[in-house]
Amino acid sequence: MKRASHIFPALLLAALAGLTFWLDRSLRLEQGMTEAERNDPDLIVEGMVARRFDAEGRIKHTLHASRMTHFPRTETTVLEAPRFVSDASGPAPVTITSRTARVTRNGDEIHFDDNVWVSRAPYADRSELVMQTEYLQVLPDAHVARTDRKVTITDAHTVATAIGLELNSEQRTARFLSQFRGTYHDPKRPPNSP
């Protein structure tokens, strides 16, 4: 019995040491996992301007943002108050603005979110063209923009709405996906004629 009373404290100390080692190891692994799972930004830029040039050195696109934040784990860049200007989209520049945008890893896609406005400047005998939606995916190098949300397009003589739109500025095509409605006002026709 005396021997058991001497062994019990030694077993208790060994159990406590084992438990301490196990807790320490568990906390370190959990802490390491938390750091690996975190997606803290590695780069923040205020007043960002990025330009992409063509082979002849002319500006194709310019992307402005009041703030750019890059997240390394997801390779995503988040833009606040972005303004994208495409000079390669035909005879007049096209400007896209929104509250926020996400740029994918290689800059191949820009996802504009929340209060998206697209404006094509007037040129020749064409008036300014404005489109409004809540989301727009832009593939700058493919000259494609698309949305599955409601769009409203207006110019001096036309108002059109639809759900979903695919634009190709290189081919100069627009495809409305569903529920298209439009009104055209002929400027040569008097306002009250039948």
Provide the pLDDT for residue 52. Answer: 87
Would the pTM count as exceeding 0.85?
no
**35 token code pair:** 């750091």
What's the DSSP call for residue 141?
Answer: G
- Beta-strand ranges (E) seen in 42-99 are 43-53, 59-71, 76-80, 83-86, 94-97
pLDDT tens across 75-129, in order?
Answer: 889 999 999 998 876 678 889 999 999 998 788 899 999 999 999 888 888 889 8
pLDDT given for residue 171 in this prediction = 82
Give 43-184's CATH code, choosing from 1.20.1250.20, 2.60.450.10, 2.60.120.560, 2.130.10.10: 2.60.450.10
Torsion from C-alpha of 161, 63, 113, 119, nearest 10 degrees? -20
Q: Per the structure block, which two tokens stand in for 191?
A: 């306002």
Burial level of 89, CB count in 10 A (0-12/13-18/19+)?
buried
- What local confidence, expressed as pLDDT, does residue 133 receive? 96
Show me where the domains of the chain are located: 1-38, 43-184
pLDDT in tens, the chain (194 residues): 565 566 766 665 666 666 666 667 766 655 555 555 667 888 899 999 998 888 888 888 899 999 999 998 888 899 999 999 988 766 788 899 999 999 987 888 999 999 999 998 888 888 898 999 999 999 988 889 999 999 999 998 899 999 999 988 878 888 999 999 999 887 777 766 55
State the chain's maximal CA–CA distance in angstroms: 117
